Amino acid sequence: MSLHLENVSFTYPGAQHGIEAVTLAVEPGELLAVMGRSGSGKSTILRLTAGLLNGYEGRISINGKDVAGVPVWRREVGMVFQQYALFPHLSVVDNVAYGLRMRGMSAAKRRTRALDMLERVGLTEHAGRRTTLLSGGQQQRVALARALAFEPKVLLLDEPLAALDAGIRQQLRDEIRSLQRACGATTLLVTHDQDEALSLADRVAVVDGGRVLQVDTPERLYTQPVSTQVARFVGHSSVMPGRVVGTGAVDVSFAMLFADTRAFRPGDKVDVLVRPEHVQPDPPEAAINRLGGRRTEVRYFGATCRYDFVPDSAQQPLLCEGRQLAEHAIAIAPEHLRVLAA
Ligand code: ADP
Ligand code: MG
């Protein structure tokens, strides 16, 4: 089942906030993550897709069929939220079976199906317990089992791991991925956590201020961000404001850097970006884009180090990463500089 949002705009009544002209295409079986900071419109996208919010412009369709006016329970979307939203008065197995009852399945079949789902999330032995007796991670597994029990066309996950401790989060992240693969559910996952988005998703939509900035594979988002804004959301990078001075050269105030400027004309204001791992420590004298300077802060991360290097005459340090630390100079190969419109 595919899920399409085409030019969807929505404003909360009486507020200026919402989303604007959001276009997203989730292919059958794909897991697309919507990533952005708090307040960027992620949950709004999800609520509109689920049918929990109405009165939008544009088109939302599941498998090519416009879902405008289709009520929540007819959309066949499974939902999991940050707060588990389980029924405290029902047992674990009854929570999972709940959605099936609404869909008219017999009691015996509901139980069989719910137990099967619990086995998949490793909670068989907890079937008869109250959900309030479970840990956060276990409760979220119940929520997942409940969401997937009726084989939804679309699975919607709103920050499903945000309330969990780091260790459990990592584990459940992997479980969500394998469960989603096994079920083949077309999935929209909302998160503010870039590690989560990049490691879980087939593709990631970066959103800010209610707009989609870029939709791409995790790798392309990292290597080919379309804007400085996207680059700041995905991994670390140093940004050097500058001006294109000729073909293949940018003046970044403290130096002249050689880079691919084919998309620009002389005089254009640009940002030159470099990822920390692409900064070469203590290069030969003749290296291209060699910058003398001094190392300042060093942070150790086991296998690697991150450190700051301030080029001569520069105001801001460049973030560098590697096992070898630069002493007096760095260099950045032109192909590792990304020039973007300022
Ligand atoms: P996110 O999930 O990315 O944190 P939301 O989609 O919840 O963001 O919210 C997007 C914007 O809409 C925010 O500015 C938020 O304050 C605003 N907003 C969210 N819910 C409501 C509401 N019920 N009424 C008015 N404004 C809202
Ligand atoms: Mg939210």
In a domain, 313, yes or no: yes
- CATH number of 172's domain: 3.40.50.300
Average pLDDT in the 76-103 region?
89
Nearest 10 degrees: Cα torsion 197, 77, 147, 100: -170
Average pLDDT in the 39-49 region?
97
The β-bridge partners of 280 are 331
In a domain, 231, yes or no: no
In a domain, 270, yes or no: yes
Longest dimension (CA), the chain: 78
Instruction: Tell me which of 177, 205, 225 is where a domain ends.
Output: 225
pLDDT in tens, 248-270: 999 999 999 999 999 999 999 99
17, 36, 33, 12: which is closest to 192 by C-alpha? Answer: 36
Starting at the earlier edge strand, list the strands of the sheet with 329-331: 280-281, 329-331, 290-301, 304-311, 318-322
Instruction: Tell me which of 185, 200, 225 is where a domain ends.
Output: 225
For residues 264 and 336, state if they share a domain: yes
Neighbours of 170 (CB within 10 A): 15
Residue type, 316: Q
Average pLDDT in the 333-340 region?
97
272, 276, 273: which is closest to 309 by C-alpha? Answer: 276
Please name the residues in contact with 101: beta carbons below 8 A apart, sequence gap of 6 or more. Answer: 110
DSSP string, 182-213: HHT-EEEEEES-HHHHHHH-SEEEEEETTEEE
For residues 206 and 246, state if they share a domain: no
Neighbours of 218 (CB within 10 A): 20
Instruction: Tell me which of 157, 191, 225 is where a domain ends.
Output: 225
In a domain, 79, yes or no: yes
For residues 127 and 9, state if they share a domain: yes
In a domain, 230, yes or no: no
Please name the residues in contact with 27: beta carbons below 8 A apart, sequence gap of 6 or more. Answer: 2, 186
How many domains would you assign to the chain?
A: 2
pLDDT in tens, 22-36: 999 999 999 999 999
Report the separation in Å between the CA atom of 38 and the middle of ligand 1, taken as the mean of its atom positions. Answer: 9
pLDDT reading at 182 higher than 80? yes
- Which ligand is closest in space to the CA of residue 207? 1
Average pLDDT in the 308-312 region?
98
pLDDT of residue 3: 97
Instruction: Domain of residue 311: give its range.
Output: 236-341
In a domain, 73, yes or no: yes
pLDDT of residue 104: 81
Six-digit token string for 322: 């590697």
pLDDT of residue 314: 97
For residues 307 and 191, state if they share a domain: no
Supply the residue whose CA is at minimum distance from atom 10 of ligand 1.
41
* 317 DSSP assignment: P
For residues 48 and 196, state if they share a domain: yes
**Test site for ligand 1: of 9, 10, 37, 44, most ligand atoms within 8 A of the Cβ:** 44
Supply the residue whose CA is at minimum distance from atom 21 of ligand 1.
12
Average pLDDT in the 170-190 region?
93
In a domain, 88, yes or no: yes
Helix (H) or strand (E) holding 6: strand 3-11
For residues 262 and 150, state if they share a domain: no
pLDDT of residue 103: 78
Q: What's the full length of the chain, in residues? A: 342
What confidence category does residue 275 fall into, taking pLDDT thresholds of 50, 70 and 90?
A: very high
pLDDT in tens, 101-127: 877 889 999 999 999 999 999 999 999
Please name the residues in contact with 174: beta carbons below 8 A apart, sequence gap of 6 or more. Answer: none
For residues 186 and 332, state if they share a domain: no
For residues 219 and 262, state if they share a domain: no
What confidence category does residue 82 fall into, taking pLDDT thresholds of 50, 70 and 90?
A: confident
Supply the residue whose CA is at minimum distance from atom 22 of ligand 1.
12
pLDDT of residue 55: 93
pLDDT reading at 286 higher than 90? yes
The β-bridge partners of 242 are 270
Distance between first and last Cα of the chain: 39
Six-digit token string for 60: 């939302």
For residues 49 and 159, state if they share a domain: yes
pLDDT of residue 172: 92
Strand pairing report for 154-158 and 77-80? parallel
Report the separation in Å between the CA atom of 45 and the middle of ligand 1, taken as the mean of its atom positions. Answer: 10
For residues 190 and 263, state if they share a domain: no
pLDDT of residue 74: 87
pLDDT of residue 297: 94
For residues 24 and 171, state if they share a domain: yes
For residues 113 and 18, state if they share a domain: yes
What confidence category does residue 236 fall into, taking pLDDT thresholds of 50, 70 and 90?
A: very high
